[in-house]
Amino acid sequence: MWRAFSGRDASYVGVFHVCVKTTGIYCKITCPARLPKRENVEFVATPVDAERLGYRPCKRCRPSSIDDEPDWVKRLEGELRRDPLRRLRDEDLRRLDIEPARARRWYQARHGVSFHGYQRAMRLGRAMTALRDGESISSVAFDAGFESESGFREAWSKLFGDPPTRATRRGHLVAERISTPLGAMLAIAATGEDGPRGIVMCEFLDRRALETELDEIRKHHRASIVPGSHELLDQLRGELEQYHAGVRQSFDVPLAPVATPFEAEVWAELRAIPYAETRSYADLARAIGRVGASRAVGRANGRNRIAILIPCHRVIGSDGKLTGYGGGLWRKQRLLELERNGQ
């Protein structure tokens, strides 16, 4: 790690972070600041680990401001955004100076599928929209890069569990990673039979309960989650950028949280907490007419899957201290500081 850091080897970006004991800051491996002495450096895996040790993010390289994706991943994602229906094969990756095995491992580790599986899911997600708009299965299959309609139907059934004609009669879920100053988030939009419905998830990628939450959302909607683009995700990304820039205090993108009646009641009260203000769990319990139900309110708070927009970060202990937050207490503190400074 020291050799990689001293050589500013960008291929290790995101693999580990550098903490400098003498300054109390942590950096990306490619930070342009002067190289510290070896004895004054320790290495950690993530920004979360660095913050837990008391280090502050470097203002030059801003280690927590992006998703720490290597440059080759950004180039690859750019290719996919320019032509989502293009089918990049191994030889195309090599022309982009990307080793196919490296792409396979990276996408497998972060998305649970190979790069080619990721591409296929994106194309099928866009195919869902096209079929809903009335296009024929044969034309959609060709546009999605499949050589035959039967191959398209087989891939579709494996992903969605139903044949195309049946799956398009119910909703589907589209997911996208969104970079924020506090780390990458996974956002999911649900689309109903009659079009856009709302955001069902907006969570930090390092949240421990993320896999469980994804399973719950899949089961509730009886649908697969596919990577792709969606107008609600575009709106969400823009509003989050404005929020972090201190120019937005509320969100307009529609939400469609999966909740029990009690959770829905608690989350509605969370959304009523004004920007830059806080409430205790006891305050929330009283507000919904459930005095003495602070613990139940706390559990409902922890079950919130739409961070920031349903502002569970504005709930603190009765003694005024910060309490648990699924995204980490350091993020909770940052969000509250952002709102206080943004007024």
Q: What does the DSSP 8-state code read for residue 255?
A: B
- Residue pair 80/116 in contact (Cβ under 8 Å)? The answer is no
Q: Terminus-to-terminus CA distance in the chain, angstroms?
A: 42
For 71-167, CATH number? 1.10.10.60
The tens digit of pLDDT for each residue in 301-314 reads 999 999 999 999 99
Q: Which SS3 state, helix, strand or coil, does residue 328 take? A: coil
Backbone angles phi, psi at 327, to 5 degrees: -85, 0
Is 312 in the active site?
yes
Average pLDDT over residues 118-125: 73
**Domain range 2-57, its CATH number among 3.40.470.10, 3.40.10.10, 3.60.21.10, 3.40.50.1370:** 3.40.10.10
Rg of the chain (C-alpha set): 22
CA distance 42 to 26: 9
- Residue pair 326/203 in contact (Cβ under 8 Å)? The answer is yes
pTM, to two decimals: 0.64
**270-to-161, 162, 275, 287, 293 alpha-carbon distances in Å:** 36, 37, 11, 10, 15
The tens digit of pLDDT for each residue in 130-171 reads 666 667 777 777 666 676 777 777 776 666 656 666 555 556
For 261-342, CATH number? 1.10.10.10
Strand 172-178 to 185-192 pairing: antiparallel
What pLDDT score does 66 carry? 46
The tens digit of pLDDT for each residue in 7-46 reads 888 767 767 889 999 999 999 888 888 999 999 999 987 7
Whether 177 has a pLDDT exceeding 60, the answer reads: yes
What pLDDT score does 109 carry? 63
Neighbouring CB atoms inside 10 A of 74's CB total 12
Most confident of 119-128, 199-208, 261-270, 290-299: 261-270
Neighbouring CB atoms inside 10 A of 62's CB total 13
Q: Residue type at 282?
A: A
CA distance 274 to 32: 40
Mean pLDDT across the chain:
82
Residue % of the chain over a pLDDT of 70 = 84
- Residue pair 270/316 in contact (Cβ under 8 Å)? The answer is no
Whether 227 has a pLDDT exceeding 80, the answer reads: no
Q: Dig out the tokens for 124 from the structure.
A: 């099928």
CA distance 1 to 41: 11
Whether 186 has a pLDDT exceeding 60, the answer reads: yes
Tell me which of 27, 58, 202, 312 is the catalytic residue. 312
Q: In what order do the strands lie in the sheet with 41-44?
A: 41-44, 17-20, 25-27, 56-57
Q: In what order do the strands lie in the sheet with 225-227?
A: 195-204, 185-192, 172-178, 225-227
Find, among 30, 26, 33, 41, the residue nearest to 7 by Cα.
Answer: 30
What pLDDT score does 199 carry? 95
Strand 185-192 to 195-204 pairing: antiparallel
97-101, 112-116, 126-130: segment of lowest average pLDDT: 126-130
Q: What are the residue boundaries of the structural domains of the chain, listed by start?
A: 2-57, 71-167, 172-244, 261-342
User: Do the domains 2-57 and 261-342 sit in the same CATH topology, yes or no?
Assistant: no
